[in-house]
Chains A and B, each alone.
Chain A
Amino acid sequence: MQPIISCRDVHKTFNGGILKRKKPVHALAGINFDVRSGECFGLIGPNGSGKSTLIRVLSTLLYPDQGQAHVCGFDVVRKPYRVRELISRVSVDAAFFKKLSAWENLRYSARLYGVPLRIARQRALDVLAELGFSARRFNDSMEDLSRGMQQKVAVARALINRPQVLLLDEPTTGLDPRSKREVEAYIQRLRNQTDLTIFLTTHDMYEAEHLCDRVAIIDKGRIVALDTPKMLKRILARKRGSDHVSLEDVFLELTHKEWVDAEGDDDGD
Chain B
Amino acid sequence: MQRIPTLEPMVPAGAEPRMRLRFLALIERNFALIKRYIGWEVVFVFYNIVNALCIAFIGVTQGKGHVLYLVIGALIWGFLSLLFHELAEQVQWERWEGTIEYSFMAPMHRLTYLLGNCFYAVVYGVLRSALLLGVLVLFLGLSLKGANIAGALVVLVVSGLSFIGLGLIAAILPVLSTEKGAQASHIFQAVILLISGVYYEVDVLPAWIRSLSVASPATYTLRAIRAALLEGASFKELAPTILLLAGIGIVLIPVGFAVFSLAERWAKRTGKLKRSG
Contacts and interface: CB of A to CB of B under 8 A. Distances in A.
Contacts of B17: 116, 119
A109 B19 CA distance: 12
10 contacts: A63-B269, A81-B109, A87-B105, A91-B101, A93-B275, A95-B99, A113-B107, A114-B22, A162-B10, A193-B7
B103 interface: yes
A59 B93 CA distance: 21
B36 interface: yes
A98 to B, nearest CB: 7
Interface of B: 1-7, 9-11, 13, 16-19, 22, 24-25, 28-29, 32-33, 36-37, 93, 97-99, 101-109, 265, 268-271, 273-276
A59 B100 CA distance: 13
A138 interface: no
Contacts of B106: 84, 109, 112-113
**Main SS of the interface on chain A?**
mixed
A204 interface: no
Contacts of A195: 9-10
A97 B29 contact: yes
B15 to A, nearest CB: 11
Nearest to A156: B6
A159 interface: yes
The 9 A-B pairs at the shortest CB distance, nearest first, are namely: A111-B25, A95-B98, A112-B106, A84-B107, A99-B36, A194-B7, A85-B107, A126-B6, A267-B276
Interface in A186-212: 189-190, 192-196
Interface of A: 12, 14-15, 53, 56, 59-63, 81, 84-85, 87-89, 91, 93, 95-100, 104, 107-117, 119, 122-123, 126-127, 130, 141, 157, 159, 162, 164, 189-190, 192-196, 266-267, 269
Contact of A95 (B4, B10, B102, B108): B102
Given A97-B97, A117-B19, A194-B4, 15 more contacts: A60-B268, A61-B105, A62-B273, A84-B107, A88-B105, A99-B36, A109-B102, A109-B106, A113-B108, A114-B18, A115-B19, A119-B16, A141-B36, A162-B10, A193-B3
**Main SS of the interface on chain B?**
loop
Contacts of B98: 93, 95
A10 B80 CA distance: 46
A96 B97 contact: yes
A211 to B, nearest CB: 16
Nearest to A117: B19
B103 A112 contact: yes
Contact of B6 (A56, A87, A127, A266): A127
Contacts of B108: 112-114
A214 B74 CA distance: 65
Given A61-B268, A61-B273, A162-B7, A112 B22 contact: yes
A89 B5 CA distance: 20
Contacts of B101: 56, 59, 61, 91, 95
Given A63-B269, A97-B97, A267-B276, A130 B19 contact: no
